[in-house]
Structures are given as C-alpha cells and as structure tokens.
Homo-oligomer: A and B are copies of this chain.
Amino acid sequence: MKLGLIGGTGPEGKGLGYRFAIAGHEVIIGSRRPERAAEAASEVAEHASAATVTGAANLDAAREADVVLLTVPYTAQAATLPDLRAALEGKIVISTAVPLSFEGGKPAMLAVPEGSAAEQAAALLPGARVVAAFQNLGAAKLWKAGLSLDQDVIVCADDAEAKSQVMSLAEQIEGVRAVDGGPLTAAHYVEGITALLVNVNKRYKKTTGVRIAGL
C-alpha cells in the first residue's frame, strides 16, 4: 500500500514511516518543502534499509498515496489541510495529532472548537474518511529498530470499514494491538491520554503507552 505522511519530516512522521516501511509499504514523506521531505525520506530509507521511501511536497504525497497519515502538529493543521481537500477526497486519512501545548513546561490540552484534532481534520476535509489513531505512540520508541511497542493503538472513526482497515494497519507495527475506541468523537479522550502519559513519563522517567485491560 502507498502511505503518505503529511508533514512527515518530524519525529512522529519519521517514526511511523519507518515502521510502515519495514512492514513492506511504500512510504511517501510529505513536507511543505520538498527538499526537506527528500532528506527525511532518505533518513527513513536508510534506517529501514532497502524499503521504498520517497519524499514529496505535501500535495503530491496526498495525491499519490492510497492512505494518508496526518503528522503535522495540531497548530499547523488548519493552515495545511484546506489545500489538500480535493486530493484527499474519498481517501482514508488518519489523524495522529494531539492538541497539546507545553506553555510554562506544563502539558495542557488546547480547546478545540470541533472537540478534538481528529474532528477538526474531518471538518477541514469533508470528503475524506477520517480515522483517529496512533496519538499515544511515542516517536522515540517507533524509531528504535527492533523494539516491540507493547501497547495498544485505540482507533476511533465513524466509517466502520475505514476503521477496520486502520486497525489492520496498526497491527503491522510490532507489539501493537488495535482496539476499537468507538466513534470519531471519542478521539478527544484518546488525545487526552497523551497529555496524561506526558505527566507519567515525566514522573517515572519512562516512555509509556496505554493498554486496555480485560479484553
């Protein structure tokens, strides 16, 4: 499958790109600046060795990909997505963003009028099949070769078929179990878990994730 990462040059984009490249997917790292995309792509390609990873302008990544992951920071989302609307029409678009601010060193959720970063993405991309996932996976763990993630990816969407596809995709990452978290409105709670994990990581000096117990 061709996976496009919009704003994929940061740690989260590269980490997910790496994991999907080693799972055998064709990965297109998108950026506002194609030369930065190309740089990040060759970094990911080298890390994944021999996998097909290329860089492109965000719009080209959106056009060429079968499934798109949004790895732009939440605060850049409203400026980035409208230009991609036509290209993403009918496609599965995965929202990974968390509306988190670190003002004064303290993590705090920003108020999102739409309810969550994922619902904002859906509002900005009315023709896309938006699915929320991967918000709780730490970039450093994704990037670490051979590391089993050993955590859950909670997947929320209103489109059942798109949700199911993203759950399968998530489970191609070693040590990940996908859990159906309900409708897209529930993405708010999953995004909030990341804010909580930031507290826990700071307190325990670990990179933590979440598991649903009792399944």
A residues bordering B, Cβ < 8 Å?
108-109, 150-152, 154, 179-183, 185-186, 188-190, 192-193, 195-197, 199-200, 202-204, 206-215
Residues of B near A182 (CB, < 8 A) are: 196, 199-200, 202-203
Looking at A109, A200, A204, A215, the one whose CB has the most chain B CB atoms below 10 A away is A200
Interface SS of A by simple majority: mixed
Contact A214 B208 (CB under 8 A): yes
A210 to B151, CA, bound (A): 11
For the complex of A and B, list the 3 residue pairs with the smallest distance between their C-beta atoms, beginning with the closest: A182-B199, A189-B192, A189-B196
Write 17 A-B pairs (CB below 8 A) sorted by A numbering: A154-B196, A154-B200, A182-B199, A182-B202, A183-B199, A186-B195, A188-B192, A189-B192, A189-B193, A189-B196, A197-B212, A208-B212, A209-B212, A210-B210, A210-B211, A210-B212, A210-B213
Q: When chains A and B are docked, how far (Å) is the Cα of A75 from the Cα of B182?
A: 25
Q: Are B212 and A200 in contact (CB under 8 A)?
A: yes
A180 close to B204 (CB less than 8 A): yes
How far apart are the CA atoms of A151 and B213 in the complex, in Å? 6
Cβ B203 vs Cβ A195 within 8 A: no
CB distance from A211 to the nearest CB of B (A): 4
Selected contact of A215 from candidates B186, B193, B208, CB within 8 Å: B208
What's the least CB distance linking A163 to chain B, in Å?
11
In angstroms, Cα B214 to Cα A210, docked, is 8
Contact: A196 with B207, CB < 8 Å? no
CB-based contact A189/B195 at 8 Å: yes
Contacts of A186 in B (CB 8 A): 195-196, 199
Minimum distance in angstroms from A171 CB to a CB of chain B: 15
Closest Cβ–Cβ distance, residue A70 to chain B (whole Å): 21
A98 to chain B, nearest CB (A): 11
